[in-house]
Chains A and B, each alone.
Chain A
Amino acid sequence: MQHIDAAETQCRELLAPLQGKRVIAATMQAEFASWAGLEVVRTFGRAEDINARELAEILNAVKNIPVAGVVDNYQSGPDAGLPLALELGVAHVVLSNFPGSSDDAPDYFSLLMHNVRQLQALPKP
């Protein structure tokens, strides 16, 4: 448990510059993004469920909001939010919810750090 606490402390330090950044996130990553200190302004679903009208609605909803990036969920289709990121001209990051999704994230701790490193790609103040 101490190791988990230590990992959380390390993550908090790394994520500190991103606090309050507004993002659009895949539903399955919204909770993690919020824990990371990001403000999730809109969510979207799986790649096969999202359609042009839904994308347009999201774009319309955030047109006056300075969105820093789009957070996708690897298991829901890593490119589901890519059209939004491209349209908005913002960063696109892909997080994973399960260990083993990539060679460098075989367990919980490596996956947690992998996700944090992905979020660090978001523009900082």
Chain B
Amino acid sequence: MHADSAQEFQREEFFNTHAAGWEARNYPPEKLRQVDQLMSSLPLAQAEVIIDVGCGEGVLQPYCANTPARMQHCWRLTRRLTCCSASWPGFPHVRTYQARAESMPLTDASADMVICFSAFPHIGDKQAAAREFYRILRPTGRAYVLHIDGREKLNQLHDSHHAVEGDHLPCPTGMSIIFTTAGFTSIEAHEGPRSLLFLRCQKMSAAMKKAAVFLWLVLLFCSTASQAADAVRVVAGTSLISDIVADLTQNRCEILTLNQGSSCPGHENASTGDYVFAARANLLLIHPFQRNLQQVSAMLAAVDNPKLKVAEVSPRNSWLIPQVQKQAVNEISRRAGGHCPRTCTGHTAQGSPADATHRRG
């Protein structure tokens, strides 16, 4: 028997043997409180179809049931129907599948959310599973990999038992790589204060991909032949701008944010590092109120970068307001294609006629 197959067999035998009563043994009240806290942070009410990968006895089911019934069709995947009944009394929308996470019997783009709770380390081919999550998710669908135990403790625990030895939970960076490679974007992978791992990522819609490709091509166009080997660099006036640019380019360009979210844009100075970055940047995107700020004007005067295009993003209202945010997304995509004079004052940026930017679906 191949080593991987042998490991797979041992793992299955282990879980088959221990499946009954797993929840009662492993989820005392304090752990259930942690699960409760974790699940309450998810936008379950926005999903019609949720895939619970590696559902076990169904510890997540009560949380899904509390969402509006019309919104909720919670499906389950399990490798052993013995530990998870095929029909769920009280939960008529629940369906149970016996399947591997790497090849689920679900059609493309058929789910809104994938939750893999306390199961990811046991998936043999994690890259294949991430690709499968991506395949079954609808555009803008989200995948979550959740754990309430610390990674170090969990990996040590698994290594102490031959059946699950080597079933490791990757570090946040490793998780990001796995899910980025699978095609996901907007990836957040981090270990929280209690060492739980939270990974959230999103599938791009066709419109998002179109917008991203457009902006990416525009940014590439902005770069010169001499810089062709370098990454495209964008200086963003604030985190409002960098958030949108990062989304549209799928984090494929280098972004410097002049004003991080925690500071007031009118009360910051550019650092030496900002100047160095701007000297090699392709594009500077700012708010109108920033054009006369010392932070920006002094930086533009100091850096000798004739290739730096400067564009203002005009919405003056609060970008937090959804309709204004949409204007900003459109404008950033358009302005990125403009050929602005290298000044922040009184420029007349000519946007690309292609303004049909659609961000995040």
Contacts and interface: CB of A to CB of B under 8 A. Distances in A.
- A and B: bona fide binding partners: yes
Interface of A: 1-8, 10-11, 29, 31-32, 35, 46, 74-76, 96-102, 105-109, 111-112, 115
A76 B264 contact: yes
Nearest to B263: A75
A32 to B, nearest CB: 5
Given A1-B329, A6-B46, A98-B240, A75 B360 contact: no
Contacts of A35: 318, 320-321
A3 B140 contact: yes
Interface of B: 43, 45-46, 140, 186, 188, 205, 207, 238-240, 243-244, 247, 257, 259-265, 317-323, 325-326, 329, 358-361
13 contacts: A3-B360, A10-B45, A32-B321, A35-B318, A35-B321, A75-B265, A98-B239, A99-B240, A100-B239, A102-B262, A107-B243, A111-B261, A111-B320
Contacts of A10: 43, 45-46
Chain A to chain B: the 10 pairs with minimum beta-carbon distance, closest first: A100-B261, A98-B261, A101-B261, A8-B322, A3-B360, A75-B264, A100-B239, A31-B318, A2-B361, A3-B361
Contact of A99 (B239, B264, B358): B239
Given A10-B46, A31-B321, A106 B188 contact: yes
B361 A1 contact: yes
Contacts of B43: 10
Given A5-B322, A99-B239, A109-B360, 9 more contacts: A3-B361, A8-B323, A10-B45, A32-B320, A75-B265, A97-B320, A99-B243, A101-B261, A108-B325
B4 to A, nearest CB: 37
A97 B260 contact: no
Given A32-B321, A108-B325, A99 B359 contact: no
Contacts of A8: 322-323
Given A3-B361, A107-B243, A108-B240, A96 B321 contact: no
B195 to A, nearest CB: 15
Contacts of A102: 261-262
A31 B140 contact: no
A106 B244 CA distance: 12
A31 B320 CA distance: 9
B184 to A, nearest CB: 15
